[in-house]
A and B are shown apart, each in its own frame.
Chain A
Amino acid sequence: MDKPPPHHESISSRWSISSKDKEVTFADLGSKRIRHGSAGADSEMLSMSQKEIKDEDARLIYINDPDRTNETFDFTGNSIKTAKYSVFTFLPRNLFEQFHRVAYVYFLVIAVLNQLPQLAVFGRGASIMPLAFVLLVSAIKDAYEDFRRHRSDRVENNRLALVFEDNEFKEKQWKYIRVGEVIKVVSNQTLPCDMVLLATSDPTGVVYVQTTNLDGESNLKTRYAKQETLQKATDLETFDGFIKCEKPNRNIYGFQANMEIDGRRLSLGPSNIILRGCELKNTEWALGVVVYAGSETKAMLNNSGAPSKRSRLETRMNLEIILLSLFLIALCTTAAATAAVWLRTHRDDLDTILFYRRKDYSVKPEGKNHNYYGWGWEIFFTFFMAVIVYQIMIPISLYISMELVRIGQAYFMTRDDLMYDESSNSSFQCRALNINEDLGQIKYLFSDKTGTLTDNKMEFQCACIGGVDYSGREPAESEQEGYSVEVDGVTLKPKMRVRVDPSLLQLTRNGNATEEAKRANEFFLSLAACNTIVPIVTNTSDPNVKLVDYQGESPDEQALVYAAAAYGFLLIERTSGHIVINVRAEMQTFNVLGLHEFDSDRKRMSVILGCPDTSVKLFVKGADSSMFSVMDEESYGDVIEATKKQLHAYSSDGLRTLVVGLRKLNDTEFEQWHSSFEAASTALIGRAGLLRKVAGNIETKLRIVGATAIEDKLQRGVPEAIESLRIAGIKVWVLTGDKQETAISIGFSSRLLTRNMRQIVINSNSLDSCRRSLEEANASVARDDDDESVALIIDGTSLIYVLDNDLEDVLFQVACKSSAVLCCRVAPFQKAGIVALVKNRTSDMTLAIGDGANDVSMIQMADVGVGISGQEGRQAVMASDFAMGQFRFLVPLLLVHGHWNYQRMGYMILYNFYRNAVFVLILFWYVLFTCYTLTTAITEWSSVLYSVVYTSFPTIVIGILDKNLGRRILLSHPQLYGVGQRAEGYSTTLFWYTMFDTVWQSAAIFFIPLFAYWGSTIDTSSLGDLWTIAAVVVVNLHLAMDVIRWNWIAHAAIWGSIVAACICVVVIDVIPTLPGYWAIFQVAKTWMFWFCLLAIVVTTLLPRFAIKFLVEYYRPSDVRIAREVEKLRSFSEPQQNMGTEMNQIRDPSRR
């Protein structure tokens, strides 16, 4: 890994979020924090720690002197306020925020226009009503949510903490804590603010914290107080010093500061700070000085909401909205133009025309124009009045309906039984509410491997010691109890049992009798010692039995320590200075003299132990690629060769491998190391780099001890899920940090790769060779056009050359033609690059799924990000749009819910366009018969209520509940997912069909009564009521015609809506002060009314009904066929039938 420094730096800085990386090559050793003494550098902070904090970017904190600290700058206090509003600010702020939505602004502009006397089309009440209604509903919702936040804020702010004041610790409410104060936290307490550790109950300054509230990780993390402050803190009164630290930021894994006490300058890193929200564990007490409080704590800064994305369908829809705006403008222009012509031709008669009467003769002498501002202005006013009357052509209510529908859909997704994960007790989470329907259009799936495809529950499988493989297993039902040991009358047992190889167990029991046994013991001692695991002894119901639980940041390490325990090397205690290992019932104490934490450049970690026999040994553990280069090949060449062979076999079985080595250090070597280590760890600049160099110098000429193989088990249902997704036409890309062999074997076991696929492996070390092999691959893929499927396997090194380069195109072409893509040895930042590569080149939807912090960038990059709420913290979940427990839930999520949501939303958008346009067109046709003035026969209240009450409810219900196909058939025939991928549910063609239908329907609704009542005594209100009811009935029946599942809710919504509309019309007509008083009763008495209504309903829906049938019968879509199968045939028979035909085609992608 000899990369030029600049490049290298950028990698590590981008890795700052990826410290939780679980891929074996990067974090297999897991430990991130140096445990030795006060060396507080983090490799991930490399680029940060090399910089000095500039004065203007720093905040200065005087320890235990809050007054002085807050003298110049008044730092934020510790009271938090997550609530947005207070009683007084609620109204203005809430309104302000609501009007951020364009839709509401449109409403507002229209309402304001309507208030101008010249343009007053609707009365005050009617024009404001819809906007007021929507605002009110949202405001009530917001107010309720804010009330709950206020309540929780109050509880949080009034919690108590021990603050050092007047020479003693006093209880103080959290909200009064100030920056600079010294606080004492006791075990199991939650931290009130971010503080730098000064001292702890542990003499070495170690403190354990649980960060569940912060990042969801339940394992314990270690933090340290500086050696220099440990003693000083006993006498706080005289504690004099200050901390200069960076300004508050949201990086929970980074912290950079200097502390100056007694003139000495110490540097502080992320391991010296404990954050608000963490819980103190296994430590009696800890003292710290507050550096960030309240809203400036990292926890609060990270407290951001779900990401906001916009769905593809909505983006597409905006195009049609623009078209509709053009229609609107066209309608208004027509109205204005015809009005202009009429006014012009009658300009001489306007004064006397009985129904116009321009002049007001009460004003002497000549009379003046009444409400007439000249020809030009009249046209202008007509235009804007038309805009007001036809406003719902732009279906603003659609946006609100869509939000409601998505909430409903989200409800059903979260409540889905199929997506509940028993093992982690987590149900599906819908974090982003805007992109439900995108789930139905996914074409590319990018998946992390560890923790996503696999369980991330590591299980120790094989050991290779001295080149000899021990991979036998005791029978599963063995009677053996597992290893336990008795210490002082108490039986200690590891919490997890590991199945052991009987022959190896026998060997270790022999003590150091043979050379083989000695090596085996050495091997397990290394496993037990060389890690950062914290053993925690917990009580059980039996007072004589205690369980040893291993807490650590890396599941690999946990697996290894449990394995060591099973073979008799029970790690019992760890402090910063020593570890205690129970070696077959004999307690042995090892002094920890030094520890080089894992970093992703070295890809190994090491620990220097002073053994009970006074020898000093260096234990190193790391990825094979990095370990073999530091082995003493001359002396142990044959063992290394044997081990390499064995490792190859392991990784072919899909196991994760690690290599362990050790070296005895002589005194001079140790002294030399010690002095350079001290120098490096106190360096102020470039500390991490120096430490790495020190580590590199000592980690050489190692003797190989052995290698381990850990199985990362596939999650349940993963192969089936991947197969389903592939049949559904989704291209699955797996991005993993694993070795190529491991990745390929996982690929096979997860059915991503199949035996009849041709593998193309791109594995290059330079730009040129990479280009060559890619072009070759491209040519070969292009050559064979038969259905031989191809799998592309590319490694991270090659990707370095490909990404951000013209080779991206070639890779994309190759990848497009491959049915599976496997990227191995991928660095976290490359993951996002790969997603971007696809996303930028195609309009197809991408979905990324992952579980770790290293997947965050990828999850955010993809159109849809899915987080697995599993072992590795909650970083991925926090960044994701949807979160769930298991990979296999993707299948119901995409194939069932995605399919439904897409189809529902697509239909709903078209239907909403239609229902509003029908109404607008009815209003428009009437204008042609009112002398081109904006009279509406339909009452203004009906106009307003039409889109809010008369027709909105059914579309929302249908948008949430209708299913075009049942769950079973969608799952058994994944190809049906293609409907969304081919965007069959919503397209410009469908839009135009809908619009033609709309014109026909509106014309039929309008003109049938017009001709039937022409030259009759019909009055405006009666005819208006007929039109209103006809429109409502037709629009609802139109929906009814397209409803696929009629359950009682659908019935209630549709028929209820018609009834509600009729009731509203009646109510409006019993108000005597409205011109339409009693009209509905008068008109409904006549047969004519009912004859018209019947004729309208049949005539409007006739063409649609006939065409719908013709299309469905003679050009059936997949969905239609599947519906027929679902309805007409028994289930088992067609399944076989369709199934066999389905199986002939391996790759169903048709585009």
Chain B
Amino acid sequence: MSSNTASSSGGSGDSSAARKNSKRPKYSKFTQQELPACKPILTPGWVISTFLIVSVIFIPLGVISLFASQDVVEIVDRYDNDCIPAPARTNKVAFIQGDAPKACNRTLTVTKRMKQPIYVYYQLDNFYQNHRRYVKSRSDSQLRSPKFENQISACKPEDDAGGQPIVPCGLIAWSLFNDTYTLSRNNTPLAVNKKDIAWKSDKEHKFGNKVFPKNFQKGNLTGGATLNPDIPLSEQEDLIVWMRTAALPTFRKLYGKIETDLDNGDTIQVTLQNNYNTYSFSGKKKLVLSTTSWLGGKNDFLGIAYLTVGGICFFLALAFTIMYLVKPRRLGDPSYLSWNRNPGGGR
């Protein structure tokens, strides 16, 4: 708008009074919507190189993700069914609710050398820790400070026992996982470190070190584990882990860490107490021993996804290049304009 600028600046020669009186909008690049701007357009060159760059980045990332996943050694043992004595299997719920001994022995074989730290997880399937009723049934302020131990309104029906508030209240705490595992390798006990399995931030700020369990599991129905009333919540790491509710219905929770390497061919004997009732909703229980990589656990999905996307981009780059070579269009060719394509303004 150079002419425009010229005329408006030419007008400044007027006396200042006339200028003040004038309603002429003050000229600026902003008000005239002429701010300097970059106007990229998608040219074949740009698009093809974008696809190439994406594929060049994605394919290696996919490969290293896959490698990372392959590096992870994982032993998964589903025990929910096997740990119920065969005669009781017709009514698993009755068994688990009954008083019969729940101990169960499992043997795991290490098929590949596992470097420490080896994480011990329990995995639950079909357990909806993200169920709306469930996730709401907690009192975060109660967990932090004894002052708020009466804030239990969200915790129903696990809010109080005989008029006394339950600490920690709510369904989540109530249903705390209570299967226990005792591991031994080649008949020597294998230490499972249960310290520092929860987030540091949770231990330090979310779960108070002056809050002690009260009236826990004193209701008419016992959901899961009991807590030692003499240990403050900030030290109850199993609870802290459990209360980080899982996002998905199939999830693992950290049980502990084995801080020695396991060699190929080692057998691990697990003595577990099968207490936790997932049978009423046909949930599966698994014990998992797993190493981790820098990318996390064993999951090929991301690697495959990266390879796929990278592959598609490479293919598209190739296809567009061919299309560009075979059927190019001159950019800015006016003959493509609608009023030039069908002259005569075809009605």
Contact = CB atoms under 8 A, between A and B. Distances in A.
Interface of A: 346, 349, 352-357, 359-362, 367, 370-371, 412, 414-418, 420, 422, 425-427, 785, 787, 929-931, 933-935, 937, 961, 963, 967-968, 975, 978, 1008, 1010-1024, 1044-1050, 1072-1075, 1077-1078, 1081-1082, 1086-1088, 1091-1092, 1094-1095, 1098-1099, 1102, 1105-1106, 1108-1109, 1112-1114, 1116-1118, 1120-1129, 1134, 1137-1138, 1141-1142, 1144-1145, 1147-1151
Contact of A362 (B22, B33, B160, B206): B160
A1113 B329 contact: yes
Question: Which residue of B27, B252, B339 has the most chain A CB atoms within 10 A of its CB atom?
Answer: B339
Interface stretch (B84-92, B98-106, B263-271, B302-310): B302-310
B123 A1015 contact: yes
Given A1086-B296, A1121-B337, A1150-B342, A1017 B25 contact: no
A1050 B36 CA distance: 11
B65 A1091 contact: yes
Nearest to B161: A362
Contacts of B141: 1073
B25 A1137 contact: no
A412 B334 CA distance: 30
B305 to A, nearest CB: 5
B157 A1088 contact: no
Contacts of B327: 1114
Contacts of B54: 1098
A436 to B, nearest CB: 14
A1080 B335 CA distance: 54
B158 interface: yes
Contacts of A1112: 41-42
B325 interface: no
A1105 B309 CA distance: 13
A582 B278 CA distance: 115
Given A357-B158, A417-B32, A1118-B337, A1109 B25 contact: no
Contact of B345 (A1098, A1127, A1148): A1148
Contact of A1147 (B27, B133, B345): B345
A639 B45 CA distance: 80
B280 A349 contact: yes
A1044 B39 contact: yes
A335 to B, nearest CB: 11
B76 to A, nearest CB: 9
B337 A1095 contact: no
Given A352-B277, A1138-B337, A1078 B329 contact: no
Contacts of B24: 417, 420, 422, 425, 427
B238 to A, nearest CB: 14
A414 B347 CA distance: 37
Contacts of B254: 1017
Contacts, number: 318
A1127 B41 contact: yes
Contact of B336 (A412, A978, A1116, A1145): A1116
Interface centre among A785, A787, A1072, A1092 (most CB of B within 10 A): A1072
B247 A1013 contact: yes
B156 A360 contact: yes
Given A360-B157, A1047-B37, A420 B25 contact: yes
Given A935-B132, A1020-B130, A1046-B37, A370 B199 contact: no
A1087 B69 CA distance: 13
B249 interface: yes
A362 to B, nearest CB: 6
Nearest to A1022: B247
B161 A937 contact: no
24 contacts: A355-B171, A356-B134, A357-B223, A360-B156, A414-B25, A416-B31, A417-B31, A418-B1, A420-B25, A931-B249, A933-B128, A961-B33, A1013-B247, A1016-B297, A1019-B244, A1046-B37, A1086-B296, A1116-B329, A1127-B39, A1127-B41, A1129-B332, A1141-B335, A1141-B340, A1145-B344
Interface of B: 1, 4, 8, 21-25, 27, 31-42, 44, 47, 50, 54, 58, 61, 65, 93, 121, 123, 127-135, 138, 140-141, 144, 156-158, 160-161, 171, 174-175, 199, 201-202, 205-206, 219-221, 223-224, 244-254, 277-278, 280-281, 294-297, 299, 301-302, 305-306, 309, 312-313, 316, 320, 327, 329, 331-340, 342-347
Given A1114-B329, A1151-B347, A1075 B135 contact: yes
Most buried by B among A427, A1019, A1077: A1019
Given A355-B128, A1144-B343, A1134 B334 contact: yes
Contact of B339 (A346, A367, A933, A975): A975
Contacts of A427: 23-25
Given A1077-B205, A1113-B44, A354 B23 contact: no
Contacts of A1019: 244-247
B334 A1121 contact: yes
A1078 B201 contact: yes
B302 A356 contact: no
Max chain B C-beta neighbours (<10 A), residue from A359, A1008, A1073: A1073
Nearest to A1091: B302
A1072 B25 CA distance: 52
B35 A1073 contact: no
Contacts of B299: 1011-1016
Given A1081-B201, A1124-B41, A1148 B156 contact: no
Given A360-B156, A415-B25, A1018-B251, A354 B334 contact: no
A360 B202 CA distance: 30
Contact of B127 (A355, A371, A417, A1050): A355
A488 B208 CA distance: 106
B329 A1145 contact: no
B39 A361 contact: no
Contact of B42 (A362, A963, A1099, A1109): A1109
B284 to A, nearest CB: 11
A346 B133 CA distance: 15
A1021 B347 CA distance: 59
B73 to A, nearest CB: 16
A1144 B32 CA distance: 33
